[in-house]
């Protein structure tokens, strides 16, 4: 991932330095367990433990010649350790090292993303409470429907991200799996007990069964979960973009001092952060597709997944990390315009109360079909001719014979619009 979208902590997890440190943690732990079992003599274990080290530059130098990153790593470590290095990687295949170390990196990345999720969930809850009683028009198909609470949007989003928290926790657990089972998963040159002990000591689960690799359904599950979280972040960002449209302007991204919105038009204040989030969600969906493509490999393993994973696993984590942080920043500093919400509710001259009127007429004995046709007739007149809907209703003799003037006035009042909001919030623990 480019530096522009890489935050320091997540970037460190996917750095070459950290990757090779995870490789060494795995190799060292295998050696330590083998020493405990009497396979490695004490003096050789002492040499391995005290002398081992690596140099990223040296590894890359060796890899340029041998064209194999694991061999390059092991060669560099051997240069530090000396003769005792003959015990390092004994009985292992490259994927024992790579997949187990990758599980460490994915576990660390997943925990960081879970912390970011927690921050966002807390923020959404605070915003839901802040705007609990703020009326605005609800829109279906982009068209004015009935009034809602602005806080409900945040409450819906919070519940969605609570579900994501559960999904991601499961996906992290699913991917924190290692294997030390040899070239085709048969432990041909290893005691199966080594795998259990090594994985436990590293904080991983041991794969119940493997071939040359940990099966890629686990990684696909993880990346698909990141893409799903990204889709929900895009959902929020899209809402903000719509609310910031000039003719709506009910909410708006913060615009910092000195910021400029256009090289050509000095007046522009664009929702660039939300647009960026929407664009990055597309990347995550692409990574998820590639992760799914990696599930089907030849026989006990081929290497077609490797090149894709070198890009998609770091980049998907880095991308979502950035999106979560950016989303929290946008929401924390969101500008809200209650007066514009009120103005927009009044744009249709009372049409938003059509269902209130429909149900009131039905309650007085009018058939639903007749009441619907009557209300719709006046609604279409109001739409097409720009007339006041309430005025048309009050002037209709058939409606006036069914509902009093005071009752019609009450139907067009906003006082009862949030009557059930308290119940909704209580249902969700607020």
Active site residues: 141, 262
| Distance from chain centroid for Cα 263 | 32
CA nearest 331: which of 260, 233, 422, 256?
233
3-state secondary structure of 160: helix
**Greatest C-alpha distance within the chain:** 104
The DSSP bridge partners found for residue 206 are 178
Give the C-alpha separation, 170 to 164, whole Å: 10
| Four-CA torsion 384, 388, 389, 393, nearest 10 degrees | -120
Give the C-alpha separation, 52 to 76, whole Å: 9
3-state secondary structure of 295: coil
Whose tokens are 């790579």? That residue is 98
Tokens coding 199 = 């994985």
Backbone φ/ψ region at 350: left (φ over 0), alpha (ψ -120 to 50), beta: left
Q: Where are the alpha helices (DSSP H) in 203-303?
A: 217-243, 272-293
| Four-CA torsion 36, 42, 44, 46, nearest 10 degrees | 90
Alpha carbon distance, N-terminus to C-terminus of the chain: 39
CA triple 267-273-274, angle to 5 deg: 105
Give the C-alpha separation, 139 to 136, whole Å: 10
Give the C-alpha separation, 175 to 164, whole Å: 16
198 contacts 26 by C-beta, under 8 angstroms: yes
């Amino acid at each position: 991932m480019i530096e522009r979208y890489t935050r320091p902590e997540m970037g460190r997890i996917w750095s070459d330095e950290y990757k090779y440190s995870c490789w060494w943690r795995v190799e060292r732990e295998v050696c330590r367990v083998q020493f405990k079992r009497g396979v490695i003599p004490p003096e050789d274990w002492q040499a391995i433990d005290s002398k081992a080290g690596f140099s990223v530059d040296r590894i890359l130098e060796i890899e340029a010649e041998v064209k194999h990153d694991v061999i390059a790593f092991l060669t560099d470590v051997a240069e530090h350790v000396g003769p005792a290095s003959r015990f390092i990687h004994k009985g292992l295949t490259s994927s024992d090292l790579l997949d187990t170390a990758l599980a460490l990196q994915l576990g660390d990345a997943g925990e960081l993303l879970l912390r970011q999720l927690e921050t966002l969930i807390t923020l959404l809850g605070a915003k839901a409470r802040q705007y609990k009683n703020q009326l605005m028009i609800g829109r279906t198909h982009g068209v004015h429907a009935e009034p809602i609470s602005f806080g409900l949007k945040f409450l819906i989003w919070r519940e969605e991200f609570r579900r994501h928290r559960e999904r991601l926790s499961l996906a992290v657990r699913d991917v924190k799996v290692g294997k030390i089972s040899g070239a085709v998963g048969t432990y041909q040159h290893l005691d199966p007990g080594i795998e259990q002990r090594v994985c436990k000591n590293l904080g991983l689960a041991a794969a119940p069964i493997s071939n040359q690799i940990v099966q890629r359904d686990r990684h696909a599950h993880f990346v698909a979960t990141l893409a799903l979280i990204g889709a929900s972040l895009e959902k929020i960002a899209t809402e903000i973009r719509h609310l910031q449209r000039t003719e709506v302007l009910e909410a708006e991204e913060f615009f910092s001092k000195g910021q400029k919105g256009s090289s050509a038009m000095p007046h522009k204040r664009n929702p660039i952060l939300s647009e960026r989030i929407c664009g990055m969600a597309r990347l995550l969906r692409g990574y998820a597709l590639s992760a799914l493509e990696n599930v089907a490999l030849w026989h006990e393993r081929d290497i077609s997944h490797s090149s894709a994973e070198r890009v998609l696993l770091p980049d998907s984590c880095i991308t979502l990390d950035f999106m979560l942080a950016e989303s929290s920043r946008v929401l924390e500093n969101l500008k809200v315009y209650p007066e514009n919400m009120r103005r927009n509710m009044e744009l249709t001259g009372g049409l938003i109360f059509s269902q209130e009127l429909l149900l009131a007429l039905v309650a007085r004995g009018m058939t639903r079909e007749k009441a619907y046709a009557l209300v719709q007739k006046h609604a279409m007149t109001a739409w097409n001719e720009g007339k006041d809907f309430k005025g048309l209703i009050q002037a209709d003799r058939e409606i006036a014979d069914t509902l009093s003037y005071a009752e019609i006035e009450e139907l067009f009042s906003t006082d009862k619009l949030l009557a059930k909001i308290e119940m909704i919030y209580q249902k969700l623990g607020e």
